[in-house]
Amino acid sequence: MARIIVIVILVIFVLWSLLVQCRHGHPAWETLRQFRYAHRGLHNREKGVPENSLAAFRLAARHGYGAELDVHLTADGRLAVIHDNSLLRTAGVDVKASELTASELAEYRLEGTGEHIPLLEEVLPIFEGVSPLIVELKVDNGNSAALAQATCEMLDRFHVDYCIESFHPQAVRWLRQNRPEICRGQLSQNFLKGEHTGMGFAADFAMTHLLTSFFTLPDFIAYNHKHRRRASLKLARGIWKVQEVSWTIRTPEDMKTCEKAGCLSIFEQFEP
């Protein structure tokens, strides 16, 4: 009986290990590991520098930081750099970026400033030859393939170091299948408490425990630093040697802890 239990445990461990498998040793890490990343640019609302604005990205580059940014596909196939699909929080208007054309999007201003919502093609020149970007794909209404393809094609036009990440496994899967040379990452957190995926308990469980990794083979796991004490994350790091990226760090103490553990830092609300 004891032998059967041991065998069952070993089988479960092997299957679990295979589910969280990742890709190791991407050459992009030689550059990416040299930087810290300003979350949505080096923004500061009190100083009139909105998140995901050209001003925030210029500040990040000027201070020698990389930057994390978010992209949505607009109605006419352009790439809007904004976190929420809805403009309500950032521009005070209850419309969706994915339902607007680029010219319509250009009419709105961020957080009551003169800063417009930039397109990805406006941001990329800021970082050419300066510092890298972490580009997050924000999937809307199942457009993962179109969004990933448009983003890759835009990045191809500029000489900038970057990696691409997404919460949506289908977007990361597209990169694996169509652009395997790109450094790709799976975003996650503990979806079993607080914020959920919106796709039910099974999806919350799978995403929390990185059980879609076999499907996407990510080069890195970007995990909420408050939730990083997950067995699956430790297993992926221990067996597959995957790079961990910690988001979003808001104190020097948390940054020190995460970096001591070998994580890359995505930070905001302070300057390291």
User: Mean pLDDT over residues 61-78, rounded?
Assistant: 98
Q: What is the average pLDDT score of the chain?
A: 96
For residue 240, give every residue at least 6 positions away whose Cβ sits within 8 Å of its Cβ, in sequence order, or none.
20, 21, 22, 23, 24
Number of neighbours of residue 17 by Cβ within 10 angstroms = 16
Output the pLDDT for position 191.
96
pTM for this structure? 0.96
E strand or H helix at 95:
none
Output the pLDDT for position 133.
98
pLDDT range class, residue 3, cuts 50, 70, 90: confident
Beta-bridge mates of residue 44:
49
* Burial class for 263, CB neighbours closer than 10 Å (0-12, 13-18, 19+): buried
User: Mean pLDDT over residues 66-87, rounded?
Assistant: 98
Output the pLDDT for position 6.
79
Whether the per-residue pLDDT at 1 is higher than 80: the answer is: no
Whether the per-residue pLDDT at 88 is higher than 90: the answer is: yes
Q: What is the pLDDT of residues 111-165, one digit of tens each?
A: 999 999 999 999 999 999 999 999 999 999 999 999 999 999 999 999 999 999 9
Alpha-carbon separation of residue 108 from 40, 111, 113, 211, 221 (angstroms): 18, 10, 10, 39, 34
Q: What is the pLDDT of residues 174-232, one digit of tens each?
A: 999 999 999 999 999 999 987 898 889 999 999 999 999 999 999 999 999 999 999 99
Whether the per-residue pLDDT at 167 is higher than 90: the answer is: yes
Q: What is the pLDDT of residues 8-35, one digit of tens each?
A: 888 899 999 999 999 999 999 999 999 9
* Burial class for 260, CB neighbours closer than 10 Å (0-12, 13-18, 19+): exposed
Please give the share of the chain, as a percent, with pLDDT higher than 70.
100
Pairs from 265-268 (Cβ < 8 Å, separation ≥ 24): 265/36, 265/37, 266/36, 266/37, 266/38, 266/39, 266/68, 266/134, 266/222, 267/36, 267/37, 267/38, 267/39, 268/38, 268/39, 268/40, 268/43
pLDDT range class, residue 237, cuts 50, 70, 90: very high
First vs last C-alpha separation in the chain = 55
Whether the per-residue pLDDT at 78 is higher than 90: the answer is: yes
